[in-house]
Structure 1
């Protein structure tokens, strides 16, 4: 959802208004809305909330998943070199 930051006819907020009243648009962005700033009717910035913190990786689960994977028959350098030499590339 995009939020209006001003009173311009196109529904977007002007840069001067964003400078004058920055806390209200920031509060809406933190609440999950996107905010658009315009300069002379053209969109110049789009603000959205930062993603939440990443979950920590469970090392035991990671080891269990990788232990179940088969070993590759060749090293990465050999594999990439073969891809480069392949006719498709």
Structure 2
């Protein structure tokens, strides 16, 4: 009898659920491989965007402070 580790089974394309005492505790499943990012297309897209006038920190702080009360 051979035992297969849950991670190895999921990596092979399967889905493995771990059910201690009949309750689903976790599930391992395979994921699709990500496509590579086309850097030239990304640069072309972002180069046309205007630069942000304030820092990200100031923007997020103003957004949080404005919605706080």
Give the structure-1-normalised TM-score: 0.50
1:46 aligns with 2:12: no
Cα gap change, 1:21 to 1:37, in 2 (>3 Å): farther
Which protein has the bigger strand share? Answer: 1
CA contact (8 A) 2:13 2:29 kept: no
Name the count of aligned residue pairs: 64
Cα gap change, 1:37 to 1:21, in 2 (>3 Å): farther
Quick one: distance in 2 between partners of 1:77 and 1:37?
42
- Structure 1: unaligned runs, 5 residues or longer: 1-19
In the TM superposition, 1:31-70 aligns within 5 A as 31-32=13-14, 34-49=15-30, 51-70=31-50
Deviations 1:1-53 (A, max 9, x none): xxxxxxxxxxxxxxxxxxx6533x72xx4234x2223233333442212x233
Cα gap change, 1:40 to 1:65, in 2 (>3 Å): same
Runs of 4+ with deviation above 3 angstroms: 20-23
- Select the structure of larger CA radius of gyration: 1
RMSD: 2.6
Give the structure-2-normalised TM-score: 0.59
Which protein has the bigger helix share? Answer: 2
